[in-house]
Amino acid sequence: MRKVDQLHPRLQSLIFDLKEKCQNQGLKIGIGECLRTVKEQEALYAKGRTVSGSVVTNAKGSAYASMHQWGVAFDFYRNDGRDTYENGDSFFQNVGKIGKSLGLEWGGDFKSIKDLPHFQLPDWGSTPAKLKAKYKTPENFFKTWEEMPMTEQERIKFNSLVKQVETLTLEKEKIYHYTSELPDWAKPTIQKLLDRGIYKGISESDLNLPETVMRVLVINDRAGIYK
Q: Does 105 bind Zn ion (CB under 5 A)?
A: no
Over 128-184, what HEC string results? CHHHHHHHCCHHHHHHCCCCCCCCHHHHHHHHHHHHHHHHHHHHHCCEECCHHHCCC
- Residue environment code for 124-153, b if the CB has 16+ CB neighbours within 10 A, otherwise e: beeebeebbeebeebeebeeeeeeeeebbe
Closer CB to Zn ion, 19 or 118, in the complex: 118
Q: Which stretch binds Zn ion (CB under 5 A): 47-55, 111-119, 135-143, 160-168?
A: 111-119
Cβ-Cβ contacts under 8 Å for 158 (sequence gap 6 or more)? 150
Give the x-and-dash track for 154-193 against Zn ion (CB under 5 A). Answer: ----------------------------------------
Q: Which of 51, 48, 44 is closest to 75 using CA atoms?
A: 44
Q: Does 118 bind Zn ion (CB under 5 A)?
A: yes
Distance separating alpha carbons of residues 57 and 173, to the nearest angstrom = 57
Closer CB to Zn ion, 9 or 107, in the complex: 107
Closer CB to Zn ion, 75 or 152, in the complex: 75
Q: At 179, give phi and psi (nearest 5°).
A: -60, -30
What is the closest distance, in whole angstroms, from the C-beta atom of residue 138 to Zn ion in the complex? 15
Q: Does 152 bind Zn ion (CB under 5 A)?
A: no
Nearest residue to Zn ion, scored by beta-carbon proximity: 118
Closer CB to Zn ion, 67 or 209, in the complex: 67
What is the closest distance, in whole angstroms, from the C-beta atom of residue 146 to Zn ion in the complex? 25
Identify the residue among 8, 75, 99, 207 touching Zn ion (CB under 5 A). Answer: 75
What are the residues binding Zn ion (CB under 5 A)? 75, 118
